[in-house]
C-alpha cells in the first residue's frame, strides 16, 4: 500500500437495498424492465463511489452486464454494491441484484455488472481517491480480479479512441 488514505470496503458498500416491484416497472413481456434495473444500479453505484471518494463522481464505463434470470411482478429486488478496487481517480464497483419472493423467501440471482466511476474536483478534473482495503476473502478475490478487468477496459478505451465508430 502507498501513503494514500485508505478506507475499508464496508465503509461505502450497499447491502441488499430493497425495491418492491410494481406494475409500472414491467415491460411488454410482463417481466421487470431491464433498463430500470440498470438505472438503479448506476444510481446506487454512484453512492458507493461518492461515499468512498468524498467527491462528485461520474460513470466512465459499465461492463459485463449480464441478466441471468427475469424478475417478475410482485418480486422484491435486492441491490448489493461494493467497491472492488480503486486506482488513481477511478474506482470499480461491482453490482449484484437478486429477486426475492417475499412470500416464500426464495431468491434468484438476476443481474451482475461492473461500473467504473471517476471522481472529479471542483474544476471537473479527475482527482485521486483513497485506496480500498479488502478485508474478507471474497473482497480480496474481487480486488485481484478487478485489476484484470481494468486492463481489458483500458485496452477497449484505447481501441475506441482510434475508431471512427
Ligand X SMILES: CC(C)(COP(=O)(O)OP(=O)(O)OC[C@H]1O[C@@H](n2cnc3c(N)ncnc32)[C@H](O)[C@@H]1OP(=O)(O)O)[C@@H](O)C(=O)NCCC(=O)NCCS
DSSP class of 54 = S
State the cell numbers at 108.
Answer: 434468484
Q: Which of residues 1-30 bind ligand X (CB under 6 A)?
A: none
**Measured distance CA(33)–CA(12) in Å, rounded:** 27
**Measured distance CA(78)–CA(48) in Å, rounded:** 16
**Measured distance CA(25)–CA(69) in Å, rounded:** 16
User: Is 113 one of the binding residues for ligand X (CB under 6 A)?
Assistant: no
- As measured in angstroms, the least distance from the Cβ of 121 to ligand X is 11
| Smaller CB separation from ligand X, 24 or 151 | 151
Nearest CA-CA partner of 49 in 61, 37, 38 = 61
User: Is 149 one of the binding residues for ligand X (CB under 6 A)?
Assistant: no
- As measured in angstroms, the least distance from the Cβ of 133 to ligand X is 17
| Smaller CB separation from ligand X, 49 or 77 | 49
Range list of H helices, the chain? 34-53, 137-161
Site string for ligand X, 53-72 (x = CB under 6 A): -----xxxx-----------
Residues that bind ligand X (CB under 6 A): 58-61, 87-90, 116, 118, 126, 153-154, 157
Amino acid at each position: 500500500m502507498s501513503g494514500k488514505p485508505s478506507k475499508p470496503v464496508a465503509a461505502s458498500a450497499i447491502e441488499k437495498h430493497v425495491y418492491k416491484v410494481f406494475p409500472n416497472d414491467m415491460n411488454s413481456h410482463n417481466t421487470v424492465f431491464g433498463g430500470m434495473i440498470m438505472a438503479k444500479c448506476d444510481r446506487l453505484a454512484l453512492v458507493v463511489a461518492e461515499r468512498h471518494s468524498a467527491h462528485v463522481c461520474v460513470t466512465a464505463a459499465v461492463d459485463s452486464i449480464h441478466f441471468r434470470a427475469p424478475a417478475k411482478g410482485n418480486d422484491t429486488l435486492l441491490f448489493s454494491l461494493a467497491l472492488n478496487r480503486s486506482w488513481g481517480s477511478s474506482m470499480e464497483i461491482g453490482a449484484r441484484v437478486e429477486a426475492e419472493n417475499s412470500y416464500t423467501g426464495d431468491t434468484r440471482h438476476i443481474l451482475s455488472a461492473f461500473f467504473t466511476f471517476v471522481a472529479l474536483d471542483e474544476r471537473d478534473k479527475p482527482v485521486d481517491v483513497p485506496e480500498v482495503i479488502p478485508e474478507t476473502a471474497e473482497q480480496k478475490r474481487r480486488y485481484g480480479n478487478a485489476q484484470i478487468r481494468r486492463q481489458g477496459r483500458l485496452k477497449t478505451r484505447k481501441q475506441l479512441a482510434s475508431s471512427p465508430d
